[in-house]
Amino acid sequence: MSNRSDIAPDTVSVELTEDGVVVEYLDGRQAFYHGVPTTVEGSIQTAPGKDTHVLITDETETSGILVYVNDLRTHDDILEETGVGRVILDDGEEDELFPGVTVRDNQMRTEVEVDYDVTNGRVFVFEEDELGERSFEIVEA
């Protein structure tokens, strides 16, 4: 197992464009998640073994928090410099990333569930590996 740990996220800048979602890290670098996210109601479960990133915006949709789920490759110092958070879950464990946004690990799959009675922002899930990426927006059921 890795010596990677949970890292609390900081607020990062977010821009929603016609072509995808741009996240600007605290160090000024940007990540671009390609494509218009597919909408799903209530929750989503990723494919097994994919890198999972969860972005939760505020009501303005211009800032939010970005959390990597079960990322064991990125060093703690890099996450702290960029403002990206990380949560490490064992199989069957769950954590609340933000009030109303829960993640669970289920046999190498990540499930993200949103309670829109509690959270007011938008919730995006990005799933990627070396073969490609997919993006989703969880909407109220």
Compute the distance between CA of residue 94 and CA of residue 11 in angstroms, rounded to an integer: 22
Q: Phi/psi of residue 53, each to 5°?
A: -120, 135
Residues 25, 82: contact at Cβ < 8 Å?
Answer: yes
Residues 21, 13: contact at Cβ < 8 Å?
Answer: no
Q: Specify the pTM.
A: 0.95
Confidence band for 1, pLDDT divided at 50, 70 and 90: very low
Domains of the chain plus CATH, in order, are 11-139 (2.60.40)
Q: Give residue-wise pLDDT tens across range 84-131.
A: 999 999 999 999 999 999 999 999 999 999 999 999 999 999 999 988
Tell me the one-letter amino acid at 24.
E
